[in-house]
Each structure stands twice: as C-alpha cells, then as structure tokens.
Chains A and B, each alone.
Chain A
C-alpha cells in the first residue's frame, strides 16, 4: 500500500478494503522506522493522528466520505496545526504548540483527512537543500548522501520514500517544485492568492504560496480541491469560482501550445537533465502538443531580484520572533535590547540570519532605491515577459532544476551556488504564476529529473491535465527509490 496513490487508497477505503485506522497505523509504523535514516519528519503525534483516523472511519462507515477522508497526509512544519508542535524548522519555535489551525489544515480536517505528522524543512523555509533545519538535514531517498532539495524537502522525501501518500509544502522561490524534482515526485505551486496563507509561518508574504505534493498529477488535483478556498483571514486570498480539478485531468491537450523559453535551455543544464526534458517534450508532441520557441529576456535576473525582495520581506516578517510572545528566549541577558539581540542570535540559524541581514541592509536608509525599488522594477519586467509569452503559448515547459540532487554539503559553504539551484523556479513566484514539477526521467546516477510546467494565472486545470496525460503514457512518476541501505 506504500506505493499506492491517494486516488487508489481513497477508492479502497470507500470500498472498505481496509480502514483508515489500519492504513494510518501502517504508514505511521513505516514512517517511524524509516525516519531514522531519512529524517523527513520532525514530529509525530500518534494520539492525535489515530483520533482523526477513527473519526474518518466513522464518516466512511456512514458513506459520507470525500476523496480525502481517511487519507494520512504529512504537513510541512510551516503550517500551524492546533495542539501540534509547529517549528518551521527553527530552534526559535522548537517548543511552540500552535493554538490554532492554519486555514488549509482546517480544510483538510473538514475533508476528513488525517494528519500523519509534521515534516522537516529548511529553517523558516530558507534553503534549497534542507541543510538549514535546526532538526538536522533530510536525506534524499534515492541516495542518502544527497540532499532532497528544499525547503519542502521533508514533504518530498516522505512521499518519495513511501512514508506518506501525499504531503503539503510551500513555495516562495521553488520550495515545492525543486524538492519534488530532486525526489522524483509531483508538486504544484498554485497561482498566488488561491491557497490561504493564514497559519503559514510567513517568510516572504508577496511570494509565499502553499501547494500539494504527491505521486501523480491526479493526486495533486484531489489535494488542490481541498486547499483552494477563499479565506477572509488572508488579505491576499482571492475569491474565485470553485474548480473541479479532478475532472479536468482528462481535458484534451491536442493542439496545446508549449512555450520553450530559450533562456531556460542554456549550457548551465546538466546533459542528462537536458536529455530527460527533451524526451518529455517529444512525448508531448506525440500527444498532439505543439512546441513554440519563446523568450523571457529578463528571467536571468530573477535570482538577483528575488534575493532582494525575499530577504527584505523576511527581515520584516521575522521581527516578530523577539522572545516575548512565543518561542525561544535567551537564558541570560542584561536588558531588553540585549534580550532581543541574544534571543535572535541564538534562536536563528546562520542562513536565516544572513537573509535577515541582507533584508535589513537593502531596506536601510540610502539603499532602498538602489536595491528594493530596483528589484521591484525588475520584478515588473519579469512579469511582463510572461504576459507576452502567454500570447504565443498556453503553458511553458523547462527543466525544474539545472541538475539532479547534489551531495550533502556540496553547496553549503557558498550561498550563491545554493541560490542558483532555484534559477528556473523563482520567476514564477515573482510573477505569481502557477507552476509545477513532474518526474520525467532518471540520470545516469539513477537520480530523478524534474520537468517544470508553468501556466498562466488560474490555469491549474490545464497544467494538471498536461501533467496527467504525460503520466498516462510514461511511468517516471511510478519509479521508486531503491532504499537499499534502509
């Protein structure tokens, strides 16, 4: 059952082949065993999990089950869940028990889903390798010496290793898509504003967006239906008609115009990745899609603009961690200012501090125009590039990452090398566009390759249909890591 999709497990639950309690116990047992090697989870809370499974079984026996009733789902530890320890991967929140549910957690509860546990992540979602977590790095199930990507690395590794049928993530500059690609699973970042950020511990508010991670595009559709809903408590939540993403998967893609941005196919891509993506594109042509050459001329500057905008917003958002209302407080200090300074010095890790310093600097007196305003202007140009491109095409495809999973420690000493692993994913966040990653091959080291699909605003259905129909004729999404050493 550990390699089954959410759809298959849901069907089996409703046919009463097994109960949610049985399913949940199986996943809990396996996850707890494997976690010693993968470190995908920070917290299990068996009592709360099993209480939800029991409730789900009652709903199923009264034949009122939804597609998610009784399905165990692993939530990134950035989402507040009532009575669950919610850490955001930081020492700062090591003992923080959330007093409330994030909007999406509430939605999953209403759908009858079961919270299996909280997954490991880069501290405050700042990282691309899961090496910045206070709770130790997550290992890639395909090769335990390699990173799973980040920041939703625990969520990606959990699905990849069969520890959970599906998970949630958040994506500020690629944090769903990059780990999905590196772990060989499917992940989707919706249009900015579709999924409520209420109860998501904020990193960069104008970029952060939650989304589903799972084995198949079909499963992403099922999860997305639960996650997308208007929320008055998120001031940027958008009111949109309810979408039936699950029914849209079979929408024809004959004649679909796929934009191929020349800037995303450069010599910085590893040859195996290039080959995997080229073959996927050929598959799409066989399915009746047409490839169109496009240009996103400003996109090479997206990483530069992002590392002004995201740290600027982070430096403001993370000012709330001051040792007063919640979280860590330094044990010794001389006065109030010293308490703040020591609390934040001890509570935050090196990468978080680096980004707070960058953000503080670019917003400080005398530098605002040169950095923050400039970055916002570059952001406009990047967004306009996409608007122009979508006059010529329906979706855009590219590699998700320039290379497959890198070694643990390989990029840890050079932040810029680390930042560049998100070089193809960041532009979609700056523009607020929906984007996803699906597996499209294995390289010579047997590591997964990700295909990125970027859609126009609110075109999630079209992207999911494109992904699903590729998955109907290929089996890359069904490949499983060997897990030989576990």
Chain B
C-alpha cells in the first residue's frame, strides 16, 4: 500500500485536526517511513493467532450504581475555556 496526501487529509478530517495542503504534503514522507516499518508485521503468518487486546486477561470490574462523588461542577469547570451558568459554551450548532 502507498499512503497518499488524500489519505492524510482524510485521517486529519476524521481526527478533527486542521491541516493545510502543505502540512499534509510535509507529513506524508515521515508517515510513509512509519508505515514501511509497520508493514514488517505482514511477513508473519498470524492466521491461527488469537488477537491480544490487553496485557492482563481480566474482565471489566463492575460496581454498584451508587453516587460516590459530591457535586464538584464549579471546580471541574474552572479549567474550561468558556462557561456560563454551569454550562460549557460552544459555538452555535443549530441554525434558527
């Protein structure tokens, strides 16, 4: 496979990162090298191998559905870029 500038732009769009044509072009060379490294995996036959998602074979621990933390809205919103009346502000999403 050969990575193209369009692939870079598509991935950037999916990842919500603005890239200019020039940035996508510049990113392409190093990314091709990384994918050449990644492609080395293909030499190995892994047909019968079970994928390993995690270092420990553990199942997700469940807990009772109870409130453990008190209301900390003001503390948690202190680092937010824009807040009003306890709400996070974002640009208008729905047109009138």
Contact = CB atoms under 8 A, between A and B. Distances in A.
Given A96-B79, A304-B38, A432-B56, 9 more contacts: A206-B53, A335-B92, A344-B17, A375-B41, A377-B52, A378-B44, A380-B49, A381-B46, A431-B55
A335 B33 CA distance: 35
A110 to B, nearest CB: 19
Interface residues of B, number: 53
B40 interface: yes
A374 B91 CA distance: 40
A265 interface: no
A458 to B, nearest CB: 11
Interface in B5-44: 7-8, 10-12, 14-19, 27, 30-31, 33-42, 44
B79 A326 contact: yes
Contacts of A207: 55
A256 interface: no
Contacts of A319: 15-16
A376 B17 contact: no
A442 interface: no
A304 B18 contact: no
A429 B76 CA distance: 32
B12 A304 contact: no
Contacts of A380: 49-52
Contacts of B14: 360, 364
A328 B81 contact: yes
A371 B93 CA distance: 35
Nearest to A321: B16
A376 B41 CA distance: 11
Contacts of A345: 17-19
Contacts of B31: 354, 357-358
A339 interface: yes
Majority-rule SS of A interface residues: helix
B90 interface: yes
A341 to B, nearest CB: 4
B2 interface: no
A345 B20 CA distance: 10
Contact of B38 (A300, A307, A325, A383): A307
Given A344-B18, A374-B42, A419-B37, A333 B72 contact: no
A99 interface: yes
Contact of B15 (A304, A356, A383, A414): A356
A238 B90 contact: no
A415 B16 contact: no
Contact of B44 (A298, A308, A348, A430): A298
Nearest to B26: A350
Interface in A220-241: 232, 235-236, 238
A322 B7 CA distance: 22
Contacts of B12: 357, 360
A376 B11 contact: no
A99 B11 contact: no
B46 A377 contact: yes
B27 A357 contact: yes
Chain A residues touching B, range: 35 or more
A379 B46 CA distance: 10
Given A303-B37, A325-B88, A419-B37, A356 B56 contact: no
Contact of A97 (B30, B51, B79): B79
A336 interface: yes
A275 interface: no
Nearest to A457: B56
A340 B7 contact: no
A307 B81 contact: no
Contact of A324 (B33, B40, B76, B81): B81
B63 interface: yes
Interface in A352-393: 353-354, 356-358, 360-362, 364, 370-371, 373-381, 383
B46 A414 contact: no
Contact of A432 (B55, B90, B92): B55
B54 interface: yes
A374 B55 CA distance: 16
B77 to A, nearest CB: 8
A360 B15 contact: yes
Interface in B38-96: 38-42, 44, 46, 49-56, 58, 60-61, 63, 72, 75-82, 88, 90-93
A413 to B, nearest CB: 8
